[in-house]
Amino acid sequence: MKLSELVDVLHVKEWLDPTDVEITGIETDSREVKPGDLFIALRGFTVDGHEYVDKAVEKGAAAILVETPVQASIPIIQVPDTRRAMAFLANRFYQYPSQQLKLIGITGTNGKTTTSHLIEQILKSTGRETGIIGTIGVKIKDKEIPVRNTTPDVVELQKSLRLMVDEGADYTVMEVSSHALHMGRTRGAHYHIAVFTNLTQDHLDYHQTMEKYREAKGLLFSQLGNQYTNKQKENQVAVLNSDDEASDYFATITAAQVITYGIKKEADVRAKNIEHRVDGVSFELETFQGNVPISLPLFGTFNVYNSLAAVAVALVEGIPLLQIKKSLENLEGVDGRFESVQAGQAYTVLVDYAHTPDSLQNVLTTAKSFAKGKVICVVGCGGDRDRGKRPLMAGIATAYSDFTVITSDNPRTEDPEAIIADMMEGVSGQETTNYTKIVDRKSAIEHALKQAKPGDVVLIAGKGHETYQEINGVRYPFDDRKIAYEAIKGEQHEA
């Protein structure tokens, strides 16, 4: 695409040396620039992309988009706000892919990845081609792109959506994080359905207050549904959790139709008579299309919520209730979510991605409900993230399990001992016999497994599907599932 064609979408711009050039890509990281790219200089939290203009030119950038004047031998376009301009350029460059498929966005503190995979599985079971964008990656058919963020930046996002369209996706299910909404990573994305899971404490390092955190999530709903059409199927829908009070706020700020789901309060899609069983959870599903009993092969009330959100989406898409039931009853678990490690041991080992107070309380309550013996929990908290959740998570771990091993998660740039000290503020005053502290996560897992007796449940929380541990900015290979498996095999060998 010609630079002139691309930047035509921007009203305010200053084009220094208006030579037209061919643009073959858009890049915001000088290290990744390829010949022909438009390099966009962004002011980040750590550095200023304007400092890397020379590097981008060296690597063959065809043009540069900046906010403040720079010197360069290639065309320079100056705009008041490169981050805002980038959204328009990326949408245009990739030809507005979100308008060429049905985009389902999911936001909420917990349950985004799980719910998006449940929706993906239901849609796929009816032959609808579906792609996914989220914490575990970008995936369509056999094509996968690894991701660093749950919701990619606007250029990567539009590129991923283009891939979805080119691969023939009818749908893309996307996790929409509050950071992404606040930073404008999803600007221009045209949603068909927006789903809210729940709102509890997390990310206050970034948003400061729960109110601001809720406002950021609200952007998904305030951007939804203001263009009504006379084709009912094209009108946008907000799917809200009636048991979470933030839903009232989202309902007031969206122009879309609202469909609610829930357990405790009245809702359009509701679960009643929930029974927790050894092989999952069963309930009566009541919907505006009729009622049907469901046996879900997943555990915990929180997964009932996730499945209700997925049911609401499937009903909006016109999938018959009995087909939805069949899909739900044949669901496959999600990578690193309540995933069991089986190495022939006489106790249960679960690896889970609970890294917030609410999710930890949910999984521990669920583990307790079926444990024949004790519940042993291994838990840490991430560095460079919400410090306020550290004491809460340690408090919940020690209160809801019989024995806790307090350890490290991803310390990132923080001192692991200092993170553990923050956690300990939540356990002071309790007897010291129901927990221990082991900084090294591998040793912590091994210690927890050594304590386990037949019938016990060992819950290894926080890192789920992650295959690395980030210490001092370096990512080392680390997989809770492999470490647990090898530790159990090692013990069996010794015995």
Ligand X SMILES: Nc1ncnc2c1ncn2[C@@H]1O[C@H](COP(=O)(O)OP(=O)(O)OP(=O)(O)O)[C@@H](O)[C@H]1O
Ligand Y SMILES: CC(=O)N[C@H]1[C@@H](OP(=O)(O)OP(=O)(O)OC[C@H]2O[C@@H](n3ccc(=O)[nH]c3=O)[C@H](O)[C@@H]2O)O[C@H](CO)[C@@H](O)[C@@H]1O[C@H](C)C(=O)N[C@@H](C)C(=O)N[C@H](CCC(=O)O)C(=O)O
Ligand Z SMILES: N[C@H](CCC[C@H](N)C(=O)O)C(=O)O
* Residue numbers belonging to the annotated binding site: 30, 108-114, 149-151, 177, 185, 385, 409-412, 462, 466
Annotated binding site for ATP: 108-114
Residue 150 lies near ligand X (rule: CB under 6 A): yes
Residue 409 lies near ligand Z (rule: CB under 6 A): yes
Q: Binder to ligand Y among 6, 7, 28, 102 (CB under 6 A)?
A: 28
First to last CA, the chain: 67
Spatial contact of 33 and 27, defined as CB atoms under 8 Å apart:
yes
Nearer to ligand Y, 391 or 464 (CB): 464
Residue 49 lies near ligand Z (rule: CB under 6 A): no
Q: Spell 430-460 as b/e; 16+ CB within 10 A means b.
A: eeeeebebbbebbebbbbbbeebeeebbbbb
Stretch that binds ligand Y, among 64-72, 148-156, 424-432, 436-444 (CB under 6 A): 148-156
Q: Binder to ligand Y among 98, 160, 172, 177 (CB under 6 A)?
A: 177
* Residue 358 contact partner, candidates ligand X, ligand Y, ligand Z, none, CB within 5 to 8 A by sort of partner: ligand X
Q: Which residues pair with 237 in a beta bridge?
A: 193, 257
Please give the residues from 192 up to 211 whose contact with ligand X meets the rule CB under 6 A: 197-198
Q: Note the Cα 285 to chain centre separation in Å.
A: 26
Residue 465 lies near ligand Z (rule: CB under 6 A): no
Token pair 């044949």: residue: 330
Which residue number has the CB closest to ligand Z?
A: 382
What is the per-residue DSSP string for 203-214?
-HHHH-SHHHHH
Stretch that binds ligand Z, among 124-132, 249-257, 437-445, 461-469 (CB under 6 A): 461-469
Q: What are phi and psi of 212, to 5 degrees?
A: -70, -35
Question: Which amino acid type is present at position 327?
Answer: S
Which residue number has the CB closest to ligand Y?
A: 44
Q: Note the Cα 199 to chain centre separation in Å.
A: 13
Q: What track of x and - describes contact with ligand Z for positions 375 through 394 (by CB under 6 A)? A: -------x--x---------
Q: Cα angle vertex 158, ends 208, 40, to 5°?
A: 75
Report which of 382, 381, 400, 391 is spatially closest to residue 459, judged by C-alpha positions: 400
Tokens representing 41 are 């200089």
Nearer to ligand Y, 179 or 276 (CB): 179
Report the nearest approach of ligand X to the CB of residue 399 (Å).
Answer: 16
Site of interaction with ligand Z (CB under 6 A): 150, 355, 382, 385, 409-410, 462-463, 466
Site of interaction with ligand Y (CB under 6 A): 28-31, 42, 44-47, 49, 52, 148-151, 153, 177, 179-180
